[in-house]
Amino acid sequence: MDRATGADLIGKQIMWSRLIAVVEEQAQALQRTAFSTIVRESGDLAAGVFDARGRMLAQAVTGTPGHINSMALAVGHVIDHYPLHTMQPGDVFIHNDPWMGTGHTNDISLTTPCFFGDKLVGFLACNSHVMDIGGLIDRVSSTDVFMEGLYLPILKIVDGGVLNETLMAVIRANTRQPVETVGDVYSLMNCNDVGCVRLLDMMHEFGLNELDELADHIIETSRAAVKAEIAKLPKGTWHASLSLDGQGEAVELKAALTISDGCIHVDYTGSAGMTKRNFNVPICYTLAYTSYALGCIIARDIPNNAGSLEPRTVSAPEGCILNAIKPAAVISRSQVGLMLPDLVYDCLRQAIPDRVPAESTCALWGITILGPKTSPPKVNERYQVQVITTGGMGALPFRDGLSATGFPSGVRGGPIEVFEAMSTVIVWRKEYRQDSGGPGRMRGGLGQVIEMENGIHEAFLYNTTYERVDHPARGVSGGCHGAAGMIRLRSGQRLAGKGQHQIPAGDRVLIMSPGGGGIGDPRERDRSLIAADLANELISSETARDIYGFDASAS
């Protein structure tokens, strides 16, 4: 129990807030210097500060749950491989092991020990998504992790301030974008350096020579706060299941959520086994999005750290799709992992229905394209670029779902102008998809319609790894389902939600992302909200009349 005086507690709270500011500057440095468009434009990253025992003390606001909550475990793995007494100032450790990082090889993780004089006082860690790490171009065809690009175990990339040029040469030689990929590694190093400098500044300012006492305060206070919130909830076990599109056959996920004294546990026993396809999920990623989903409902005002994460626990049978074992193919793990919040909420809704949203799009509808820079094509002059697009969030009991929002990933939609500038593709249309939000007393958020074609007379490749094409977001309590996603060519051909597609020269591809589910009977919706949706062209007059029972001529 913390026996500090009131003044001491205020001081610790100020230092705690300062740590959060330190890691936010760390994350912003990474975002500003990243080469990867998904990091620079959409914030697909994480940054955090850890104590000397490897416990996460603070995370940046900028970042995504899949990176952040996986990163919370990564420093512990580094310490297991390189004991503390072997570390020295100027060391930096790197890896992209899916089972010790963020779940697939495209995410590179760096850990930097921070020294106050000659004493190790903590760690700065970060990770981000690189556009290319080698492997197959067709992102849905891999059948084991060794087909998914360069696999880096936990290695020392900087030893006492001396860069490991051999390791950097290996990274450079195993990517189609050597300048960008190596640039991202330097960006990650710089990010941690910024964090370390700011951490030491903070320690000097407050007269600290170690973080142990502050770390214990942060972790114990956060743990106690989450346990207190859990204590307010009804006790029991609730079950739910969720069908995903999969590839070739549906994938069934099952969960049992148990609320007990001071703990929430989610068990995924009964979920489908590992698939030969590449949307298997390492347990670290399963833990990340399960913890995030619980945190949104029960701990949204409590900072994320080792203490606040501790009362949220997860289990899944080894070898199931949510606890895949090496060498399973995992590069598209987000297509399953991002759906876990909906499954968790389908359980929680039975216990606390007034706080839980209807189902959302969840999985991102990122647009990844590859093509020649010139016509006719020239050898080694090709681009690979990605822009993040999103669908609709499920309605909440007290408000409409957000439209075109990356929930639960937190990855922001990227600007089309940057996407166009880095490729030869022209985007002709990007707008809300009318009628895609599930009707209800509270409406689901809308998806988007995006129409694009190549600006030169050449075909380009378009990779799709999408969910909610066959199984749309479900409405609840009388609310309607959101619209299912769809991809097709303007010439008429419908494209699969998962695959690599060649978009012919002169044709256009239309991407229609899914909408979120609605809550409650649509005919109970406030008439002024229906009128506003009509005026803003979010719904059609037919939907207003036939589903909402709204007579526009009478308003």
DSSP letters spanning 329-358: --TTTHHHHTTHHHHHHHHHTTT-GGG---
* Nearest alpha carbon to residue 424 among 396, 448, 394, 459: 459
Amino acid at 255: A
* Nearest alpha carbon to residue 78 among 68, 59, 92: 92
Beta bridge partners of 489: 509
CA–CA gap between residue 116 and residue 138 (Å, rounded): 47
Q: What is the share, in percent, of the chain residues with pLDDT greater than 70?
A: 98
Residue keyed to tokens 């193919």:
329
Determine if the pTM surpasses 0.85. Answer: yes
CA–CA gap between residue 447 and residue 429 (Å, rounded): 14
Amino acid at 92: V
Q: For residue 119, what pLDDT is reported? A: 97
Ranges of H-type helices in 116-237: 165-173, 178-206, 212-231
Beta bridge partners of 127: 46, 109
CA–CA gap between residue 500 and residue 523 (Å, rounded): 42
State pLDDT tens for residues 178-193.
999 999 999 999 999 9
Q: What are phi and psi of 500, to 5 degrees?
A: -110, 125
Q: For residue 370, what pLDDT is reported? A: 94
Write down the domain spans for the chain: 6-223, 357-555
Helix (H, G, I), strand (E, B) or coil at 438: coil
DSSP E strand stretches across 373-457: 382-387, 425-432, 448-454
State pLDDT tens for residues 15-49.
999 999 999 999 999 999 999 989 999 999 999 99
| Per-residue model confidence as pLDDT tens for the chain (555 residues) | 344 566 699 999 999 999 999 999 999 999 999 999 899 999 999 999 999 999 999 999 888 888 888 888 899 999 999 999 999 999 999 999 999 988 999 999 999 999 999 999 999 999 999 999 999 988 789 999 999 999 999 999 999 999 999 999 999 999 999 999 999 999 999 999 999 999 999 999 999 999 999 999 999 999 999 999 999 999 999 999 999 999 888 999 999 999 999 999 999 999 999 999 899 999 999 999 999 999 999 998 999 999 999 999 999 999 999 999 999 999 999 999 999 999 999 999 999 999 999 999 998 999 999 999 999 999 888 998 989 999 999 999 999 999 999 899 988 888 999 999 999 999 999 999 999 999 999 999 999 999 999 999 999 999 999 999 999 999 999 999 999 999 999 999 999 999 999 999 999 999 999 999 999 999 999 999 999 999 999 999 999 999 999 987 765
